[in-house]
């Protein structure tokens, strides 16, 4: 009996997005659920900067023997449940960001560890929900785990600077920081549309990261920031973050640095530099990896109660190489506010 095949979008070589073979429509075998896995029939995906970084050219131009499937956000229906899984049944609609060490969600059916999956919000459309898993997990972990922002305290006298407030993580981080934590949020953006987007998501003030951020914050009456979440340009903004962070404050970065960082600049302030990488729990199978399920379910509740809003900004259909290439191209040019979702096969 021949194995079942499914549509997918993958790559064999790591190429510039302008290359005709950068992403390809392929057919691969439908996987089987086992252990903690769920097999999900994918309805919609969204594209994140990590997709473009994984796809980008690599030294020595490696060639994959089997198509490498990207995609780290999905909404879909559970069609098969592994023997060690709990909390889900066939027919459940779920949303998740997945595991960077396994095949991604740009396929008709996708295998994902149930411990990093949540029940999808009931009040959001499929596309609205597909925009949210990776950025919500990243923002939640950055704010409440890495930076240690308290959800139970009165944070009205504390300020967070979110560098890159118009992007996917910055957008939902702004909502979480204002609506859940009660922080004063200063976001950065440089274009009129992205400035308006930051305000829509709850930023108290927006400053231009192409100009002197410290001077702009001082003009607004801020003497620094208790917390800084850097969502882009770690190298570019590191020195100014060291100046702006308050004594004993904390900085969290989600984007790799290229050059060494002069972390000794933080010593006089006893300030903390920490990193957030949403895939850590899944990559290392940490004992607490099920926390990502808990976060997603809590975020879904907040969407359903109208406390949070989806940051989906655009929907494209169907899921294929051509459309995914378009989104990769726009992300690499820095043209995307919020999240672009690709829906349907």
Confidence (pLDDT) at 152: 80
pLDDT at 274 over 90: yes
- State whether residue 188 is helix, strand or coil: strand
Beta strand 272-275 pairing with 245-253: parallel
Mean pLDDT across the stretch 264-291? Answer: 98
Same domain, 202 and 249: yes
Confidence of residue 334 (pLDDT cuts 50, 70, 90): confident
pLDDT at 44 over 90: yes
pLDDT at 301 over 80: yes
Same domain, 115 and 215: no
Confidence (pLDDT) at 112: 98
Q: Rounded to an integer, what distance in angstroms lies between the CA atom of residue 224 and that of residue 213?
A: 10
271: domain range?
A: 136-275
Q: Rounded to an integer, what distance in angstroms lies between the CA atom of residue 104 and that of residue 169?
A: 20
pLDDT at 326 over 70: yes
Same domain, 24 and 94: yes
pLDDT at 1 over 70: no
Q: Rounded to an integer, what distance in angstroms lies between the CA atom of residue 259 and that of residue 219?
A: 31
Confidence (pLDDT) at 299: 98
* Domain containing residue 249: CATH number: 3.40.50.720
Which residue would you say has higher pLDDT here, 134 or 60? 134
Same domain, 65 and 28: yes
- The pLDDT tens digits for 66-105 are 999 999 999 999 999 999 999 999 999 999 999 999 999 9
Residue 14 per-residue DSSP state = -
Same domain, 56 and 163: no
Mean pLDDT across the stretch 245-261? Answer: 97
- State whether residue 55 is helix, strand or coil: helix
Mean pLDDT across the stretch 2-14? Answer: 93
pLDDT at 137 over 90: yes
pLDDT at 199 over 80: yes
pTM score of the predicted model: 0.96
Confidence of residue 153 (pLDDT cuts 50, 70, 90): confident
Same domain, 127 and 164: no
Beta strand 93-96 pairing with 117-119: antiparallel
Q: What is the mean pLDDT of the chain?
A: 96
pLDDT at 2 over 80: no
Same domain, 299 and 180: no
* Domain containing residue 45: CATH number: 3.90.180.10
Confidence of residue 61 (pLDDT cuts 50, 70, 90): confident
Mean pLDDT across the stretch 162-186? Answer: 97
Domain count, the chain: 2
Residues forming a β-bridge with 221 = none
Of 251, 275, 299, the residue at which a domain comes to its end is: 275
Q: Output the six-digit token pair for 46.
A: 């969204």
Mean pLDDT across the stretch 164-168? Answer: 95
Same domain, 271 and 290: no
Same domain, 178 and 232: yes
Closest CA to 220 of 183, 247, 187: 187
Same domain, 316 and 230: no
Same domain, 112 and 235: no
């Amino acid at each position: 009996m021949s194995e079942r095949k499914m549509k997918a979008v993958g790559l064999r070589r790591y190429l510039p997005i302008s290359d005709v073979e950068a992403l390809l429509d392929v057919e691969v075998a439908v996987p089987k659920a086992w252990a903690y896995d769920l097999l999900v029939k994918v309805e919609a995906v969204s594209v994140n900067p990590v997709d473009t970084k994984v796809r980008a050219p690599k030294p020595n131009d490696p060639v994959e023997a089997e198509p490498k499937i990207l995609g780290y956000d999905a909404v879909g229906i559970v069609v098969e449940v592994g023997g060690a899984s709990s909390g889900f049944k066939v027919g459940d609609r779920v949303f998740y960001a997945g595991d960077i060490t396994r095949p991604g969600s740009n396929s008709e059916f996708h295998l994902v560890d149930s411990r990093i999956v949540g029940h999808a919000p009931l009040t959001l459309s499929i596309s609205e929900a597909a925009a949210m898993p990776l950025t919500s997990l990243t923002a939640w972990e950055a704010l409440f785990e890495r930076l240690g922002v308290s959800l139970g305290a009165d944070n009205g006298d504390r300020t967070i600077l979110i560098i890159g407030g118009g992007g996917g993580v910055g957008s939902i981080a702004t909502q979480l920081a204002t609506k859940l934590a009660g922080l004063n949020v200063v976001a950065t953006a440089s274009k009129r549309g992205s400035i308006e987007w930051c305000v829509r998501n709850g930023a108290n003030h927006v400053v231009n990261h192409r100009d002197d951020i410290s001077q702009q914050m001082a003009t607004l009456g801020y003497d620094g920031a208790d917390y800084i979440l850097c969502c882009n340009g770690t190298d570019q903004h590191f020195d100014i973050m060291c100046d702006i962070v308050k004594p004993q404050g904390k900085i969290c970065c989600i984007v790799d640095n290229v050059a060494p960082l002069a972390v000794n600049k933080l010593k006089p302030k006893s300030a903390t530099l920490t990193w957030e990488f949403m895939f850590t729990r899944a990559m290392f199978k940490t004992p607490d990896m099920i926390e990502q399920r808990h976060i997603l379910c809590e975020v879904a509740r907040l969407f359903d109660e109208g406390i949070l809003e989806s940051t989906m900004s655009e929907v494209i259909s169907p899921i294929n190489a051509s459309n995914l290439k378009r989104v990769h191209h726009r992300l690499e040019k820095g043209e995307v506010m919020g999240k672009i979702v690709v829906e349907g096969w």
